[in-house]
Structure 1
Amino acid sequence: MTLRPPVEPMLAQAAEAVPGPAALRAGVAYEQKLDGHRALLFTAAGPGGAVLVQTRRGALVQDRWPDLVAAAEAQLPPGLVLDGELVVWNTDEGRLSFEALQRRAATRARAAAALVARWPAYFVAFDLLQQDGQELLARPYAERRTLLENRFSDHALTAPWTFCPQTTDLAKAREWLESWTDVSGVEGILVKPLNSRYLPGYRGWTKIRRRDTTETIVGAITGTLTRPQLLVLGRHDTDGRLRAVGRTVPLRPDAARQVAEHLTAATPGHPWTGAKFSATWGSRDVLDTTLVHPNLVAEVNADRAIDHGGVYRHPLRFQRLRLDETTQDVPRFGAGPSAAAG
């Protein structure tokens, strides 16, 4: 059977740490988890066919990636389906950029071509779902990975095609998690059973994001002063303005009581007066917030998915209030996940 879009990609469930010995004995591989957009790429099955790029949710967006389409037509054989991650390199800053990726993903047709030189796209392949028109979903992951490696070596593929790093060495995977996540664009690792089939839509893999403890300033809450539900957090920029950096997940009852004891209502002139805060990153839904006096320092646990400006894309986990610190001790906006002072 020949695969045709939309094909629902196989997914991963989140975990806090590398799976235990029982899971490891069954045989797993570790891949670097990149901070990009999941995508499937289909090469033409026959003469006159088109190269297709499919998002995780099934939309076809090849018009937004003319550089990838041209490279696929020139370098990839027909009847191929790759699973991987789309990333974008910002040539002005010399780094991977999620913001540039978002811009390219939202730009179509003629305007898309104008962005190629400044923000070239790369496809980081980690799975092979079809080759020579024959689908491979029932093959074990280890076999699909070997076929993918052979495909790269046989065709001497180079940019924009990149092979996702993989290892079966647990020590190496832990090194990636601790060290490589300091590199822009790498946010953790994926754990994949070597004998697993490719199951569309099934969360059969495990993802582990690097998380760090850092400090932020409480600028607003949802709920009430006596029963806060979640915190909206900020940091001062270099001009001294309080800039929103994210929100927490809902507070546990004990944490909510702790925070409530120290909250005070905002006075006139709060820096966020009139501001609206998204319920989730990229969402149009807004939170129903109450502004509070921005003098409390909250220690939070955060992953490495951060916009270049300093905004966390995923909710933060409240750890505790740092009553021993002032807002001047908090890292500046854009400083990233600077570790807590202890």
Structure 2
Amino acid sequence: MVLTPPFEPMLAQAAESVPGPGVLAGGLALEQKFDGHRTILFTPAGTGGRVLIQTRRGSLVQDRFPDLVAAAAQLPDGLVLDGELVVWDTAAGRLSFEALQRRAAARGRSAAALAAKTPAFFIAFDVLQQDGTELLTRPYRERRRILEDLFDTRQLSAPWTLCPMTTDLAKAREWLETWTDVSGVEGILVKGMNQRYLPGSRAWYKIRRRDTTEAIIGAITGTLARPQLLVLGRHDHHGRLRAVGRTVPLRPDAAQQVAEHLTAAGPEHPWTGVKFSSAWGSREALDAVLVRPDLVAEISADVAIDRGGVYRHPVRHVRLRLDVSVEDVPRFGGGSAAATG
């Protein structure tokens, strides 16, 4: 069977730690997890003679990445790769999710112009088809060997990158502690060496690096007596309170503690009239209640942060920091570096 789009990729479920050997029998493979767009790439053979780039949700976006399509001349026909599409911001000297978002929305001349400024890279972590033969039933260890041989025999170079993988748990822990300080690397993926590729199944595990820091509680959902989640902010260098994200729903004990210290906002609240989205990139608005922004929350957040300092994923409320004032909270754009105090 020749694979063609739309193709449903295999997925990962969130985990707090590496699962035990009984969960993924046959040994573990641990890969670096990059913060980009999940992408399936098809080279000609069953695709009408074209290179196709498919998003996780099935959309075809090759017209937005002409640099990647041109570079596919390095690849053999009948190949299907699974990986992460990332973009390098040459001006900033870093991987940039914001630049990736701009490229994903550009077409025509704009796509070509952005490709020159912010080139795309494909980080391959699986091969699903080779020479027109699908490999989904092969174990991961065999697919990985085929993928490594492809990079070796073809001497592939940028924009093609082989995703780093290890079977050494200590090495993976080192990645979590050090590599995730590099922009674009946000954690590790855990896979079974004997696993087949199961489209649509959440049979892998993802572990994100999390940092502890502080933010100001500027709004809530629910009521002052029973807050459900917190909307968080930080002051920018002009003293304006800027929204940086929201928490996951509070535990009952945490909600009770927070409620004891909340005060309704006055008309001078800096967020008066502002609407907050329910999730990053969503147009659905939260039913938020403004509160006086004088409480500080300690939060646990992963490293997926926009350049402006906005968390793309909901953070976790750890505790109230009644010993810390809002002036002690990191400034907007300060990322997830832990505050002192």
TM-score for both structures, normalised by structure 2? 0.98
Q: Which secondary structure state, in structure 1, belongs to the residue aligned with residue 216 of structure 2?
A: strand
What letter is aligned with 1:13?
Answer: Q
Alpha-carbon separation, structure 2, partners of 1:136 and 1:226: 56
User: 2:80 aligned with 1:81, yes or no?
Assistant: yes
1:46: how far off?
6.8
Alpha-carbon separation, structure 2, partners of 1:47 and 1:88: 25
Distance 1:270 1:49, change over 3 A: same
Q: Which runs of 5+ in 1 are unaligned?
A: none
Aligned twin of 1:142 = 141
Alpha-carbon separation, structure 1, partners of 2:340 and 2:333: 17
CA contact (8 A) 1:188 1:207 kept: yes
1:113: how far off?
0.9
Alpha-carbon separation, structure 1, partners of 2:48 and 2:227: 60
User: 2:42 aligned with 1:45, yes or no?
Assistant: no
Aligned twin of 2:58 = 58
Alpha-carbon separation, structure 2, partners of 1:64 and 1:24: 37
What letter is aligned with 2:4?
Answer: R
Once the two structures are superposed, what CA deviation does each residue of 1:196-222 show, in whole Å capped at 9, x if it has no partner? 000000111110000111100000111
What letter is aligned with 1:288?
Answer: D
Aligned twin of 2:206 = 207
Aligned twin of 2:126 = 127
Q: Which runs of 5+ in 2 are unaligned?
A: none
Q: Which runs of 4+ in 1 moved over 2 A?
A: 20-26
Alpha-carbon separation, structure 1, partners of 2:55 and 2:298: 36
Aligned twin of 1:283 = 282
Alpha-carbon separation, structure 2, partners of 1:27 and 1:267: 58
Alpha-carbon separation, structure 2, partners of 1:113 and 1:283: 27
Q: Which secondary structure state, in structure 1, belongs to the residue aligned with residue 103 of structure 2?
A: helix
Alpha-carbon separation, structure 2, partners of 1:333 and 1:267: 23
Say which is worse superposed, 47-56 or 269-278, in terms of deviation: 47-56
Aligned twin of 2:17 = 17
Q: Which secondary structure state, in structure 2, belongs to the residue aligned with residue 137 of structure 1?
A: coil
Alpha-carbon separation, structure 1, partners of 2:337 and 2:149: 41
Aligned twin of 2:27 = 27
Aligned twin of 1:295 = 294
Alpha-carbon separation, structure 2, partners of 1:236 and 1:280: 21
Matched ranges for 1:1-342 at <5 A = 1-23=1-23, 26-45=26-45, 49-72=49-72, 74-341=73-340
Say which is worse superposed, 88-97 or 330-339, in terms of deviation: 330-339
1:339: how far off?
1.7
TM-score for both structures, normalised by structure 1? 0.97
What letter is aligned with 1:272?
Answer: W
CA contact (8 A) 1:42 1:79 kept: yes
Alpha-carbon separation, structure 1, partners of 2:324 and 2:76: 59
1:109: how far off?
2.5
User: Over aligned residues, Cα RMSD in angstroms?
Assistant: 1.3
Alpha-carbon separation, structure 1, partners of 2:21 and 2:114: 47
